[in-house]
Amino acid sequence: MQTEHARPEERRGRIAVGSQIRRWRTSRGRTLSQVATSSGLNVGYLSQIENDKASPSLAVLGLIADALDVPPAWFLMGDVPAPLVVRAPERPGTDGPLGRIEYVDGRGSRDVAIIEGVAKPGGRVGMHAHPGDEHHVVLRGRFRMTQGEHTVELGPGDYLRWDGSVPHDAEVIGDEEAALLIVRIRPRD
């Protein structure tokens, strides 16, 4: 049931865009008067839009977006969730045969895992497999990476990608500690 006390975005099924327009206008350091001049719209009408007392057409949203140099779709975004932050000392991790494995992403994603492996000289994972592609970047030290009949040696800055479902192994070569950043893409269900 509609009442005159309904919030503006609930009236007649309108989508409230005013707060997003105001946010982008102020973040760009623009006044209503400047946006009015750039868009050819009336200051009063712009104020009504920002206060969700007027519902702009798509054409009007386009004019405002052009005046603010943003895509019109940005005005249609609702509340955006805060980004996930994982502080380095709070990373979940384990000690294994290669060395220390830490989940840089905090295991917070359903489709990707970002892992940092730090290994002592001679550290080795052992042959293993799992679903999904893996992308590796050597951060420091040297690694010997083996999959099937393929063996490559990698040093700082080198990159390797392989299908994780094919058995593979990684070992540290040389006499210094080594670190590897791994991005594992998990298959979708």
pLDDT, mean of each 10-residue run, the chain (189 residues): 43 72 93 95 95 92 95 83 86 86 88 93 91 95 96 97 95 95 87
What pLDDT sits at residue 148?
92
Structure-token match 């949203």, residue found? 61
What pLDDT sits at residue 189?
64
What pLDDT sits at residue 50?
93
What pLDDT sits at residue 14?
60
Q: Tokens for 7?
A: 């919030």
What pLDDT sits at residue 84?
81
Count of other CB atoms within 10 angstroms of residue 172 = 25
CA 56 from centroid of its chain's CA atoms:
31
Q: In whole angstroms, how large is the CA radius of gyration of the chain?
A: 26
pTM: 0.62
What is the residue type of 71?
P
Q: Contact 68/27 with Cβ under 8 angstroms?
A: no
What pLDDT sits at residue 104?
92
Task: State the Cα–Cα distance between residues 47 and 131, nearest whole angstrom.
Answer: 53
